[in-house]
Structure 1
Amino acid sequence: MYDPPGYLWALTIAGIVAIPAATCIVLYGGALRAGQSKARAALLGGGAAVVFGGWFTASAVIAGHGWYHAQLGRQVPWLPIVVAGFLGLLLALRRIPAVARALAAPRMVSRLELPHSFRVIEGTAFVLMMALGHLPALFALPAGLGDIAAGIAAPLVALSLARGTGRRTALWFNAFGMTDLISALTLGALTGYALVNVTPSGAPISELPLALIPTAAVPLLFALHLTSVPALLRTRRTPLRASAPRTAAAPNPVAH
């Protein structure tokens, strides 16, 4: 069983908790800007916290029992299944009217980028674990450096959007962020299921605490990207104001 140093446990868990916590705060603020009362906004933020916290706890129990660590062809590969399942759940929850109104509130297009800032924590954890010889460089370098880059860029992109500029940059940021997540999941599967022989093994990816990143944090980050892109596409074109209706010219008096 993988047992990293205590500071790496703390670093990994901090990033995993910070991402959903920031998302809950963003949803709370969106509900307020959508005109909902503080009580309803708190209910939305609290409900999101229950969903995130409940799944994170369940995923930790699954990982603790070793059910994510499977041999292809002999056991069910639960890790990719739960990643897809949690992502599908999050995308479905966006259709709840209260959630949809909060996500469509003014200035949400910039605030949706903020939770990505904490990806720098997870990226740093990957790189440190690689440096200690606990993770293969084939996975840790692309996934770690990609997350660090996304985490550094996220607040800058959010600030630019808040100023009313940088929508094209934000679209590129979201494209990069999704590519980074897909790349990390792919390389994690290749090394974790030993489809590619590397040293050290990628087995720690399917064990605590790292298993919580692909099963809980990654689907949430992906859902944020998939929510941000349509919002950016809707707002990147400033609609032309309708011109004032022309007043009908008074008929010229006819001389009799």
Structure 2
Amino acid sequence: MLSNLFIFSTIASSLLFAFFVWLIAHYTLTRQSNPDRERVSTIIALTLLCWFSAVLLLAKAGIFLANPLFAPGIVFGFLLLFELLRRAFFSQTIRKIASDAPMVFLITVQTYRIVGVGFLALYTQNLLPAAFAIPSGWGDIIIGATAPTVAAIYYLGKPYARRLATIWNYLGIADLIMAIGVGILAFSKPVQLLQTTPSTELLALFPMATVPLFAVPLAFFLHLLCLRILKVEAKFKS
């Protein structure tokens, strides 16, 4: 169904995305001269690795596809993740990392999203429906391709940099919400509300499940983090 090269690329790109997210956290901890930086850095790395591995192993075992509530479960998963992240911000260490993380890096790491070209490739093979693959694929490609430019403009301190970064982050969030929404509506019966052929059940299979259950939530969190930093900057400079 999926070529070995595509499977390898999907796993490798998601792992690389996670690695760079950890690298940003580790770099931020180092800049802060945090006495617990090694311990906190290790915890973050293990959390990302365990999260990714759990999704990968469950997908390999066919757990997600066998569960008819997989698609709506993604919504509850996002709500749970949001609550966990909200609680995590009560930790002084986590809040300090979040507030000091370099915005340029947080934006640049979203270059990963150019892997959205994979959705278009799967559409051409009739493995994903056009209603999902085309807007999601192109949306990700646009966000990923423009990330370095937005980051560079922010780094150079252009007068419009913060406004551009804010708009870009909201567009990135809208792209993710649209992808998850269509992905759920076009999923296999009994939850399929958007009649497409094929359905989006491929997203519940190994290794594609890592996209909605790992990469998307992580990208979503990074966008929210950027918006939080931009909001704080706006208050500080007003």
Shift of 1:12: 1.3
Task: Return the TM-score normalized by structure 2.
Answer: 0.88
Q: Which residue of 2 aligns with 1:190?
A: 185
Task: Return the TM-score normalized by structure 1.
Answer: 0.82
What SS is found at the alignment partner of 2:137?
Answer: helix
Q: Which residue of 2 aligns with 1:23?
A: 21
Within the candidate set 67, 71, 83, 2:68 is matched to: 71
Within the candidate set 6, 13, 17, 1:8 is matched to: 6
What SS is found at the alignment partner of 1:104?
Answer: helix
Q: Which residue of 2 aligns with 1:43?
A: 39
Give the stretch that moved more between structures: 211-220 or 95-104.
95-104
**8 A Cα contact 1:68 1:77, kept in partner:** no
CA deviation string 1:42-92 (max 9, x = no partner):
4333221111111111112222233322335xx895333334323432343
| Distance in 2 between residues matched to 1:45 and 1:181, nearest whole Å | 27
Instruction: Give the AA of the match of 2:146.
Output: A
After TM superposition, the structure 1 = structure 2 runs for residues 76-95 of structure 1, keeping only pairs within 5 Å, are 77-95=72-90
Instruction: Give the AA of the match of 1:129.
Output: L
1:98 aligns with 2:93: yes
**8 A Cα contact 2:71 2:187, kept in partner:** no
What SS is found at the alignment partner of 2:128?
Answer: coil
Aligned length: 232
Cα gap change, 1:125 to 1:88, in 2 (>3 Å): farther
Shift of 1:15: 2.2
Shift of 1:94: 3.5
Q: Which residue of 2 aligns with 1:249?
A: none
Cα gap change, 1:239 to 1:14, in 2 (>3 Å): same
Name structure 1 gaps, 5 residues minimum: 241-256
What SS is found at the alignment partner of 1:68?
Answer: helix
| Distance in 2 between residues matched to 1:144 and 1:26, nearest whole Å | 26
CA deviation string 1:100-150 (max 9, x = no partner):
212222x722222122111112x0111111111111111011111111111
Instruction: Give the AA of the match of 2:144.
Output: G
**8 A Cα contact 1:91 1:223, kept in partner:** no
**8 A Cα contact 1:27 1:45, kept in partner:** yes
Instruction: Give the AA of the match of 2:93.
Output: A
1:179 aligns with 2:180: no
Larger Rg: 1
Name structure 2 gaps, 5 residues minimum: none
Instruction: Give the AA of the match of 1:144.
Output: G
| Distance in 1 between residues matched to 2:47 and 2:27, nearest whole Å | 18
Cα gap change, 1:67 to 1:83, in 2 (>3 Å): farther
